[in-house]
Amino acid sequence: MKSLAELAAIREKMKDKVVLREGSGEIRVVVGMATCGIAAGARPVLNAFVEEVSKAGLADKVTVSQTGCIGVCQYEPVVEIFEADKEKVTYIKMTPEKAAEVVEKHLKGGKAIQEYTISNAIS
């Protein structure tokens, strides 16, 4: 059974990391979580990003956050990736599987997956 003692151990482990976190977030993954996003399946997409980013060892570099309606409800679940000095990448109709792929190829590999982006859908 999970115990508060385990949380104390997490605190101990994270002691040195907390300072690091302040400088983190070179890349921001933002998942649209308004009514439209939630109804279209944004919850498992968000969970996949949180899990895969941690598994890939990118937690210090990437922050995963939630936002409201981005304004393109027909393309939900929508995920935006912000990176300093780079143009925003908007992924549409996301699934947990696509999320894992984006973490691997885009966040880790540095190359956006054009096929899943909004520019691919409207061009």
Partner 1 sequence: MKELSLNILDIAKNSVKAKAENILIKLDETDETLTLTIKDDGCGMSEETVQNVMNPFYTTRTTRKVGLGIPLLKLAAEQTGGGIEITSDCETDSHGTTVTAVFFKNHLDFTPLGDVVSSVTVLIQGSPDIDWKFVHTIGNESVELDTKELREVLGDVPLDSYEVIKWIEDFLKESYESVS
Chosen residue from 56, 69, 113, 121 binding partner 1 by CB under 8 A: 69
Are residues 29 and 64 in contact, defined by beta-carbon separation less than 8 angstroms?
A: yes
Are residues 30 and 80 in contact, defined by beta-carbon separation less than 8 angstroms?
A: yes
Of 13 and 111, the one with the shorter C-beta distance to partner 1 is: 13
Chosen residue from 26, 35, 88, 109 binding partner 1 by CB under 8 A: 35
Chosen residue from 24, 25, 38, 61 binding partner 1 by CB under 8 A: 38
Q: What is the Rg, in whole angstroms, of the alpha carbon atoms belonging to the chain? A: 16
In the numeric block, which tokens belong to residue 21? 């976190």
Q: How many CA atoms lie within 13 A of 104 on its CB side?
A: 7
Q: Would you tell me which residues interact with partner 1 (CB under 8 A)?
A: 1-2, 4, 6-8, 10-11, 13-14, 18, 21, 33-35, 38-39, 43-44, 46-47, 50-51, 53-54, 59, 64-66, 68-71, 73
